[in-house]
Amino acid sequence: MATSMNCTRWLVFTLYILFLTLFLSVISLANAADDIVFQSGNQQKLNVGVAKARRFLLYDVNPGEGFNLRRDVYMRMANLVGALGETEDWTLVLPPWGRIYHWQNRHLDQVRIPWSTFFDVPSLNRHIPVIELEEYIKIRGKPEIDQILYLQSYKEGWSNGKFEEKVDERDCIDRPMYQKDSDGLYRGWFWGYEDIYAKAFKCVSIQGFTTTIAPVLINNVTATSVFLDRGEELLHDSYGQVDYWNARRSMRFAKHLTDIGDDFRRGFLNSDDKRDKTEVTEDWRDMRRDPGSATGGPYIAVHLRRQDYARGGRKDVPTLQAAAEHVEGLLKKLKLKIVFLATDAPKREIDEFKKYLSNFKVVNYVPPKVVLEKYMDGGVAIIDQWICAHARYFIGTGVSTFTFRINEERQILGFDPKMTYNRFCGHAEEPDCEQPSAWKIVY
């Protein structure tokens, strides 16, 4: 009996050792597989370090900058976060929209507007990680920013008249817009959120690109959240190249706005995506169109900027009559009869422009009260741009970012650059004035 018990115990012990050996072998293989997945180059060893906390980049722009320049600054910040993300875990916090000079409907409360009102935020996230400001506050648990870096130029300008990349902590050139309160916290505009504060503030002189500030944020700043004010001081690192176009292509408009534009196209311009060959993929990363593949709707789209341009007497601004006469020539050349007009002109100037083209149909988008109140001036501007982007032919206003954003949208949709990069010649220019340069998409 004792011998039988000993044999049984030995058998159980042996099976236990075999099971333990097999289990440890499986774990070892799993770890080896992980080493291969995360290896660098041909190295088969995984160097495990302390996980770095998620960091947040916030930014803002000079209050006087317009809607479409701010879109350009977003692309710079997005690609900065992309560069930072190669070393650390960074997320871009989208600055709420508001207080923009060109938004003329002062009766509307156009502040603290989330990006989802105007843009497809999930589409932005396919390029780099982004979140709305209110989501950031929820994640942090309080309306707190760790560090403000107020970007400014160098007081002395360029050294010897030459441009060179450099960045330094300096005294503020202008009086800061942030004031320290009795608790030692910095208070300011912060997109209209009165409860937001910052714990630290510095003025930083910078001359360079988005990548100029990147090493500073990684090596010299330990704050979890960093707010770059005056983001327009940073230049594009790769203007017109792959990163630029990836950021731009990801900036799709919110569907509720494009739906309104599409309804207008169908109802007033005899235009739809299937006939116009302007259908888009669900994911911007899957969309590549050859120039000239899109035909567009049977209308000419015109962006005619007036207001500050006309008041300022700029030489590159045409008279209304000259602009209308040029459009009439285009209509006859292209054998079209409809014009879509996007403009900031007052009603009397719109009526005057239409009068010069009385033999043709001229339409402009006038938002119903419910659309204006819900999507505000920014949403109406996007609807205008979307309609312009789908025209057979587009002509805009020189040196206008509103026009330039339409040019880009048409490039993405696959229009011929010759039907896209056109501008009016001003009253003090030659009739054959220089036209905009066409920028090809780089994939």
Query: Could you give the residue numbers annotated as active site?
Result: 65
Q: Which two tokens stand for residue 157?
A: 């300008």
Q: What share of the chain is helix, strand, coil (3-state, %, to 5)?
A: 40, 15, 40
Q: How many residues does the chain have?
A: 443
Residue 405's closest CA among 34, 150, 75?
Answer: 75
Q: Which two tokens stand for residue 116?
A: 């989802």
Would you give the DSSP letter of residue 37? H
Q: What separation in angstroms does the CA of 16 have from each of 13, 20, 24, 235?
A: 5, 6, 12, 65
Cα–Cα dist 277/413, whole Å = 9
| Structure-token match 């970007």, residue found | 151
- The DSSP result for 99-138, as a single string, is --TT---TTS---SB-GGGTB-HHHHHTTS-EEEHHHHHH
* CB 201 within 8 Å of CB 186: yes
| Structure-token match 């004010």, residue found | 229
